[in-house]
Chains A and B, each alone.
Chain A
């Protein structure tokens, strides 16, 4: 089961998240002055984990699709659609939020850390336990959108 789950896509997605994380740290390096900032970053990374355990606790039997070729073929299209839609929606949403609050995401790095860690832990969880292709698409989309926003759209 483990062997099947951990393929190259998994490592690349986790890698993207890691790069975003390092870049975020790098961006906010000047602002990390006191212990308080470190506490905030660590907490925002830890934030999704208890929720994930709780969710897993409740939905112990739901959607456990077998990762067969039929399943893949059946869900390819919808998963790709979800990926594209969630990239666009997330990018637009972040832009909108920045426009409304008149603030850059770079100035609220805790929020960026929060999005990053929540997405990647849900992704890892989904990949290892459920392998639900649609959820996989959405989560990859959000992660990609965050990466695109941080690397390209915020000059």
Chain B
């Protein structure tokens, strides 16, 4: 509710930043949800306990490394409107990523091993947080939206 209350006295860039954060939180929640759904649905048992503990490091360590050496890729959010051409372009990108992530989620559902599944999902989560912290732009927003929608479309229509 804070978003709606304070939206009057904020700059557009700040509002965009906040929306981007919300989107990231949604994707993180969705991925957790996906993990739980796949775990239960595929009857994956936690037998290889040690491997499962190490699986996330596989993707978190490279993320931290990349984050530490890279400078910010984009300038941040613009204050004004986007042009019509940009809007069309980024909507197409979002649609493309949605389709791609429907496929990726499908592939994830085919994975039988718990530790590989976990590593895959944490890798996607790492990508999202990378986008969140380095590509603060409409491009980042469309990619994050695409990921969220891709997972949801898979869950509704194909799962």
Residue numbers of A with Cβ under 8 A of B are 1-2, 5, 34-36, 39-40, 42-44, 46-47, 49-51, 53-54, 56-58, 60-62, 110, 114, 128-129
Contact = CB atoms under 8 A, between A and B. Distances in A.
B152 A50 contact: yes
Interface in B1-43: 1, 4-5, 7-8, 12, 15-16, 19-20, 22-23, 26-27, 30, 33, 37, 40-41
Interface of B: 1, 4-5, 7-8, 12, 15-16, 19-20, 22-23, 26-27, 30, 33, 37, 40-41, 80-82, 87, 90, 94, 138, 141-142, 144-145, 148-149, 152-153, 155-156, 159
Contacts of A36: 41, 159
B23 A44 contact: no
Nearest to B40: A35
Given A1-B4, A51-B149, A60 B22 contact: no
Given A58-B87, A60-B16, A2 B156 contact: no
Contacts of B87: 58
Nearest to B90: A58
